[in-house]
Amino acid sequence: MENSVLDLIGNTPLVKLTRFDTGLCDLYLKLEDRNPGGSIKDRIALSMITHAEKTGLIGSGSVLVEATAGNTGLGLTLVASVKGYRLVLVIPDKMSREKIIHLRAMGAEVIVTRSDVNKGHPEYYQDMAERIASETPGSYYINQFGNPANPLAHETTTGPELFRQLRGNIDTVVCGIGSSGTMTGLTHYFQAVKPDVEIVIADPAGSVIKDYVTRGSYGDAGSWSVEGIGEDFIPPIADFSMVKTAYTVSDQESFSAARDLLRKEGILAGSSSGTLLAAALRYCREQTIKKNVVSFVCDTGNKYLTKMYDDSWLLENNFQVS
């Protein structure tokens, strides 16, 4: 028996896909939707708040402030509620209603801002969160995009779990980049235990990450509907040293892949998981030798039932229904 819901974070199952064409490769998904908050972000939420406590940055009465696409906010709300902290979250308006309703139900103070502006604009979600923190007495801006306790969560938990679950027989990890914590933490772990592991990036069309990986530079970001991954800047904590390649994946391909995952394998995954799956399948089919490839179900599709799993929403937003 666990002492708290926080003890249930991590140690998520790994499942092999059997009904997709993966070429010569075996493709596995780590089911991060099985975390108590429903996403991989529970790991970093616990790590960042615990680290802030241990280093004296927060204590009784502190107000936590963060900018989030939703899942980090859900993880932070879970941890903050158990530990007794007030939490203020700033969220772009393109995020699903399910996430916002869930956050408010758990007790977070949610501020919804514009998603059509870039970094440097006063209504950009990260800039707004930082400003709110600076104006709120007793507050702490968590800043997942620059907080070293973010990748540390994956270096100390996600990486070792994958290595153990595949008995060290892991060749490639496919992940997305939001804050870059997953990629950076796994990079730090595998550099130490298996430096020949390749990291492959799945990037939504419109994000600047793929251009940065392939060209070392990037221009203005576009827009995309997939939630939680893709960026218009390079996060300060990002470590690309083990990245082999990157794939651009359209919203349509992401949504179709996620819906196929539900129909073929019975896994109800979120929109970013569709992006990862589409890129992982492309990578697998390109290989000329057998590899063990791992990716993630980053969060549960329950948060997107009124969006990519709703045929009417897809048609209204000019996506094909498949």
Q: pLDDT by residue (tens digit) across 191-243?
A: 999 999 999 999 999 999 999 999 999 999 999 999 999 999 999 999 999 99
Q: Mind listing the pLDDT tens digit for each residue in 166-200?
A: 999 999 999 999 999 999 999 999 999 999 999 99
Tokens read off for 128? 């707004």
Grouping H, G, I as helix, E, B as strand and the rest as coil, residue 160 is helix
Distance of alpha carbon 145 from alpha carbon 151, whole angstroms: 10
Question: What pLDDT shows up at residue 227?
Answer: 92
Residues tagged active-site: 41
Residues 6+ apart with CB under 8 A from 227: 69, 70, 94, 95, 96, 99, 270, 271, 272, 304
**Domains (ranges, CATH) in the chain?**
5-34+148-316 (3.40.50.1100), 41-141 (3.40.50.1100)
